[in-house]
Chains A and B, each alone.
Chain A
């Protein structure tokens, strides 16, 4: 079975740093994905980790520990436009493309 947990809501201040955690238990694993979704819009791809360690992409970084079933998304220098839902997803093993998503973390950035 698949189980992905992430906090429901988080609040942070503009200019600050926020870390969104994600833990997973899945029967197959082919990478950990993070997506951003603004209200009423499609999810947009942020990052992908398949090996342990930190991947940095501008203000966004993502970390993965496969042995612990744990990932986090780090957002630096928060901006108001970063207010959105952040979705953690695990890719299925094998050739098929299937993502199992967590429920999402609604981040609110305050001025």
Chain B
């Protein structure tokens, strides 16, 4: 069974630009969560989608948004990039009634 796939793995963007990251969950998993990981703040929850609906959102500005498609694939978008958005963005998928979340390899975003 394939794991969680995130694309791209690495990305370099300029301040002010916008970026879209993609996540394909494990087959059969309908819950997709996004996390930001930085050396200073650690792993922080961004949002969670289930059956194309956002169920929960972390404490991030509105520049961070996401969506989920009918095949459970998810995208997150960051607009008007700031230097502080440089981070590893991790996607995790899980089954509805199973507790552990499985993480993808992440997208490392660098904003210059």
Contacts and interface: CB of A to CB of B under 8 A. Distances in A.
Given A41-B105, A42-B106, A100 B99 contact: no
Contact of A98 (B33, B42, B90): B33
A29 to B, nearest CB: 12
A99 B45 contact: yes
Interface of A is mostly: loop
Interface of B is mostly: strand
Interface in A1-55: 30-31, 33, 35, 41-45, 48, 50
Contacts of A92: 56
Interface of B: 4, 31, 33, 35, 42-45, 48, 50, 55-56, 58, 90, 92, 94, 99-106
Ranked nearest first, the 3 interchain pairs of A and B with the lowest CB-CB distance are: A96-B56, A101-B43, A42-B103
